[in-house]
Amino acid sequence: MKPSVSTMCCAMALVEISERMSEMTEATDPWDAPVVPPEVVSIDVGRQLFVDDYLIETTDCERTYHMPEKYTGNPVLKPETALELNEGGNAATVSKGGGVWWVPAEQVFKMWYEAGWIGTICLATSRDGIHWERPEFDVNPGTNQVLPPDVVPDSWSVVPDWDAVDPEQRYKMFLRGPDMYSPAPSRRYQRFCMTSPDGIHWGNRVNTGDCGDRSTLFYNPFRKKWVFSLRAYDGARSRRYWEADDFLEGAKWEDGEPRKWVAADELDLPDPEIGMKASLYNLDAVAYESLMLGMFEIHRGPENGDAEKTGLPKITELNFAYSRDGFHWHRPDRRAHIPAERRDVWDRGYVQSVSSICTVRGDKLWIYYTGFQGDATKRGPEWLSNGMYDRGATGVAFLRRDGFASMDAGPEAATLTTHPVRFSGQHLFVNADVPDGSLQVEVINEDGHPIEPFTLAQSVPFKRDDTCQHMTWKSGADLSVLKGNPVRFRFAMTNGSLFAFWVSCAENGRSDGYVAGGGPGYTGMTDTVGCGALEAELNIR
């Protein structure tokens, strides 16, 4: 059967995108000058978000940054089994860097999580992301343990590699053991990478270079690099950067080689009650649509010794970050997007991100995170059983799809004009909320004149709330005649919010951007189904 015209169009666009990304990887070191928009921005990859001014030439809209809402039924996974309750130690079901990933071949979510604090790693599955099952595996019969028994986790990440050529390397794990605090001296100072065909049975162990605790891993598909986010201490907790083309072969850094990277700064304010200078505890990242989405875990105190005296968790909170290259990060909104509750509930403190950051569920993002309640009755110097690391669990928060930032207009008409852009698709889509207003769009040339028939007068007004809306013109023409040409889009809006736009090569609205941890309807790490994911999500519910 011959592929459809739209399928061939998308395939050709992706080949072109791959070639451009390869050229960038060869020509650009990630620590060169921060990314600035080129004269003409290619928008073939992903929905185009308004988290920064990268795509905006002029506007009189107002930008608003939005906050996720925590699920009222949290936590979705809490300690119940013997491994999780961890008798004699601290109870925990914390995903840490394990992540929550949609596995298209099995049509389930999988969560790798730490069972018991510094205990082992287990795997849970779910059809809906709320109710989790614990399948039994042969690694430790009668349990859902997947970590080999001779390994103790402290800091670790699991990231699927859907494009892996070798089926034995479909899943990647980076693990750092707990050093001198390890309950088994023979397992101290473990630093290695492993791979797995199924996320259950792990092999191909390769020793890595040295790193501090809470070091993590992510994949940057824009540069085709495996990135190790390494804990460092440069006067305060901070991060160092190491990247590799090959996950196993590239993990062998020497002391001093990982590059100084990111840290907290003066805009990360101290906790008013603790009064300690903030520091960067961890940085997880994932590809989302046209950029890298990061979570900065900001530590606000107290230090470990002071927390041990109370048996209560230290305060860490999560802050969204955005990057166009995976190295330079933009954090325009320094609020705690996933805050510690600072009261006697499951996420009182020590709030941490997971490696997938979020899953994409129809018109929402599901942001998984972990927290600790602590136990004030368990105080003292015994690190593995001190209450500050007790009663850890995993929960979820919700945000509108692409809903990190919106460009807003009131009753008076406001406009937003993009920088010159180039595309190979033909269908314009938006994510916008305008039920009490109107959104229209025109295409303008390099001289600033509207291009017939794509004028504002011909634009069919959009007056609803939709995360995947096809914008059209009265003539019925599509944008195919403008392929490859530099043009600008000018959006005109009243009483509404614009979250994203993109030009798709298919009428289903596929963005060919990245979908973080994935979700129902998606067949891999990119969006090839567009608005069809909305229907897939309804079927899950």
User: Could you tell me the residue ranges of all domains in the chain?
Assistant: 5-66+405-509, 69-400
Question: How many Cβ atoms sit within 10 Å of the Cβ of residue 16?
Answer: 14
Please tell me the class of the 5-66+405-509 domain.
mainly beta
CB 494 within 8 A of CB 438: yes
Mean pLDDT (whole number) for 231-249? 95
Within 8 A by CB and 6+ apart from 357, the residues are 284, 285, 286, 288, 293, 294, 295, 367, 516, 517
C-alpha distances out from residue 100 to 70, 94, 221, Å: 16, 11, 18
Mean pLDDT, all residues of the chain: 93
pLDDT of 5 higher than 60: no
Within 8 A by CB and 6+ apart from 45, the residues are 17, 222, 289, 290, 512, 513
For domain 69-400, give its CATH number from 1.10.1240.10, 3.40.50.920, 1.10.10.60, 2.115.10.20.
2.115.10.20
Confidence of residue 6 (pLDDT cuts 50, 70, 90): very low
pLDDT tens, position by position, 260-277: 999 999 999 999 999 999
pLDDT tens, position by position, 517-540: 999 999 999 999 999 999 999 887
Reported residue count of the chain is 541
Do the bridges between strand 41-42 and strand 421-422 make them parallel or antiparallel, or are there none, so unpaired? parallel
pLDDT tens, position by position, 191-234: 999 999 999 999 999 999 999 999 999 999 999 999 999 999 98
CA distance 49 to 405: 8
